Chains A and B, each alone.
Chain A
């Protein structure tokens, strides 16, 4: 990694923490039937492990090609989700409602997996030898990395803006309140293989069945489904966004 060892170790530890926590969210959501963004949490698991491996060589778990395949599937998933959202498809609290940031994050992961290792190797060698940086002309993707990093910081700011100290609201207040009203708008994080990590992981409602989810699965009409620790989820997204921004900046 290009930065000081202790710094990359900290970021890698944060990524592993996020991955472990999001994996536990998937389990707990199934057990407690509390809505969570399955695709987002699944993506955080995979992305956290992948980024930790990119930050610290000893934590690499899969070959780069496999990771690229995973995030390629993730990009396709969120691209499909974005198309669905634009078509006005029914929303579900079990899926991310804002797929664009996750699509961009998957693209950023693909970029980093493809470009970062070589870029960082050159940069680290130059920094060790001369204390100076590598001219950015050697990185063909520096401007793209900057744009993606700015997007990530914007996403972090957006998530932070929506984070509150107060108790989170119910995901779905009641069946009646959902009729004709916009669906809840949780902030989502990156995602990976949507079909693999979503739907089947939880015995809750499928996308487009939010009314049933409210009344059928969780206590009948009028019962409230509460999101599973949404503020912790937001903190995971902030952590992921900052770390990804850091890795992208290292590509400059």
Chain B
């Protein structure tokens, strides 16, 4: 999967710069460069970040509490308020897990661990990303009850539309290119690192569906689809923020204070203070949150120079949501994933506009000064 790797040369220096059709895509990766994470292509970096989250998920699933009855009880709770067709699937999976708790939980954890390792290893990145989509969709339904979006209680603060659906969306948006055009640049002369994956002559060039995309997420699915997915996601968050379950006077403060239970002191302090500040102000808080989310949703259609502040706002909101979620409860020893905050931030980074590439300087008419002149 070295095709998603664009390292070395000019692209390494302007990492977010999109490749242009009129210029060479990137120099062939140099072995010596690969020891430095900074030379990786932005998409590959985001893929690795996604791999890290999958690894974290897998190891969290190995926690001792997941091998107890608490895990199927957690699954059963996800069925509350859902339509029968959704709830029946959730209850079925909870019963199945309850009867084969150790085996199934070990399989779940190992699968997530394998997805993380598969994404990080280039030869299997497509396989792992592809497998993560049905896995995430299945968990979204059978484990999270569709994130509660049909229950009427969904809110960005309680993780709607479900963290796991964001894994699937990220897998699609960070999908590697389909094929590899022939190499255009000669291999570099640096001494090779011991086991780097950079010496596949067919691999290093990126063949994107939309190589002129101005952000990473558009490379795989194209700009319109990527933007539409952004609009739907953040727009739905804005919608959820305005539901009665969120705009009730003590709704948001109640959600935040509930998250504080079992958290370390510093996080509980943050959550308690945030909850007390918002107590009784559910309507204005939900409106403000919805406006900010709607601004983020629509902001992706602004020109690039205006998109950056929108992405920064999205990352800020993701951070606030993550804190309100109590970091997904992972510090309580009972969390199964880091919740939606980090994934929203990762998604926002995938939409960060590429830096515009300055035109190449004109060739000077005078002879170049000798390099040794200094």
1/0 per residue, CB under 8 A from A, across B84-127: the answer is: 00000000000000000010001000000100110111110000
Size of B's binding interface in residues, CB under 8 A: 58
Report whether B60 and A136 are in contact in the complex, using a CB–CB cutoff of 8 Å: no
B249 an interface residue at 8 Å Cβ cutoff? no
Residue of A nearest to B68 (CB): A131
1/0 per residue, CB under 8 A from A, across B61-72: the answer is: 011110111100
The interface residues of chain A lying within 8 Å CB-to-CB of B40 are 161
A177 an interface residue at 8 Å Cβ cutoff? yes
Of A127, A161, A168, A173, the contact of B191 (CB 8 Å cutoff): A173
The interface residues of chain B lying within 8 Å CB-to-CB of A146 are 330-331
1/0 per residue, CB under 8 A from B, across A1-34: the answer is: 0111001000000000000000000000000000
B358 an interface residue at 8 Å Cβ cutoff? no
Extra pairs beyond A3-B63, A182-B32, A187-B195 (19, CB < 8 Å): A2-B63, A127-B64, A127-B65, A131-B69, A136-B263, A136-B331, A143-B267, A156-B55, A161-B120, A161-B122, A162-B197, A164-B122, A172-B191, A173-B191, A173-B192, A183-B191, A184-B32, A185-B34, A249-B63
Of A133, A163, A181, A233, the contact of B189 (CB 8 Å cutoff): A181
Q: Contacts A7-B106, A131-B70, A249-B62 known; A182 to B190 CB distance under 8 Å?
A: yes
Q: Contacts A156-B120, A185-B31 known; A132 to B194 CB distance under 8 Å?
A: no
The interface residues of chain A lying within 8 Å CB-to-CB of B332 are 133, 135-136, 252
Residue of B nearest to A142 (CB): B331
Report whether A136 and B68 are in contact in the complex, using a CB–CB cutoff of 8 Å: no
Q: Contacts A137-B265, A164-B195 known; A123 to B32 CB distance under 8 Å?
A: no
In the bound complex, what is the Cα–Cα distance between A154 and B51 (angstroms)?
A: 8
The interface residues of chain A lying within 8 Å CB-to-CB of B34 are 162, 185
Can you name 23 A-B residue pairings with CB atoms under 8 Å? A4-B102, A127-B68, A131-B65, A132-B70, A132-B334, A133-B64, A136-B331, A136-B333, A142-B331, A143-B331, A150-B56, A157-B120, A161-B197, A162-B34, A162-B195, A164-B123, A165-B123, A166-B197, A166-B200, A169-B199, A178-B191, A181-B190, A184-B194
The interface residues of chain A lying within 8 Å CB-to-CB of B334 are 132-133
A116 an interface residue at 8 Å Cβ cutoff? no
In the bound complex, what is the Cα–Cα distance between A57 and B131 (angstroms)?
A: 38
A250 an interface residue at 8 Å Cβ cutoff? yes
The interface residues of chain A lying within 8 Å CB-to-CB of B59 are 149, 153, 242, 245-246, 249
In the bound complex, what is the Cα–Cα distance between A127 and B121 (angstroms)?
A: 35
Residue of B nearest to A36 (CB): B194
B193 an interface residue at 8 Å Cβ cutoff? yes
The interface residues of chain A lying within 8 Å CB-to-CB of B70 are 131-133
On A, residues with C-beta under 8 Å from B are 2-4, 7, 93, 97-98, 123-124, 127, 131-137, 139, 142-143, 146, 149-150, 153-154, 156-166, 168-173, 177-178, 181-187, 227, 230-231, 233-234, 238, 242, 245-246, 249-250, 252
The interface residues of chain B lying within 8 Å CB-to-CB of A185 are 31-32, 34-36, 193-194, 196
Report whether B32 and A4 are in contact in the complex, using a CB–CB cutoff of 8 Å: no
Leading 10 A-B pairs by shortest Cβ distance? A185-B35, A169-B192, A160-B120, A164-B197, A230-B194, A133-B333, A230-B195, A157-B120, A131-B68, A227-B194
1/0 per residue, CB under 8 A from A, across B35-47: the answer is: 1110010001000
B264 an interface residue at 8 Å Cβ cutoff? yes
In the bound complex, what is the Cα–Cα distance between A168 and B62 (angstroms)?
A: 34
